[in-house]
Structure 1
Amino acid sequence: MFTPNEIGAQLMHIERSQNERNVDVLEEDDPAAVAECVQQFMLVKDLLTAPMLGTS
């Protein structure tokens, strides 16, 4: 469906946008919300860039 390069490029774009929003949220003093958002993004990023997904 999408090449690894296309996925990587989109993830970099999303991560940059997210970092800009996180700065705004941190200025409002809500580090817990930022941490949760970053954690969720990293999980999705790891799943999308994993060479092979297994089953548990």
Structure 2
Amino acid sequence: MSLDQQIAELREQLNALGRQVREVTEAADEQDKPDVVDALADVRMHLNDAAAVLGDVIA
């Protein structure tokens, strides 16, 4: 597997993890856990940033 393919796969994994974090964030919001929601929002932001940086590398 080439480096570009590995980076693309890692980027997809980061995006998938971001979607999972969003689902957990929604569950935390439904249970009125604002501290958890805030923490997960930060995590998701960092995951999205990392995926974007990797996208720029292979673009």
Q: Say what the alpha-carbon RMSD is for the aligned residues.
A: 2.4
Asked which structure has the greater RCO (Cα within 8 Å, sep 6+), the reply is 2
Between the aligned residues of both structures, percent identity stands at 22
Alignment: residue pair count? 51
Which portions of structure 1, spanning 4 or more consecutive aligned residues, are displaced by more than 2 angstroms? 40-43, 45-51
Q: 1:16 to 1:25 in 2, by over 3 A?
A: same
- Say which structure is richer in helix: 2
TM-score between both structures, scaled by the size of structure 2: 0.60
Structure 1 unaligned regions, length at least 5: 52-56
TM-score between both structures, scaled by the size of structure 1: 0.62
Structure 2 unaligned regions, length at least 5: none
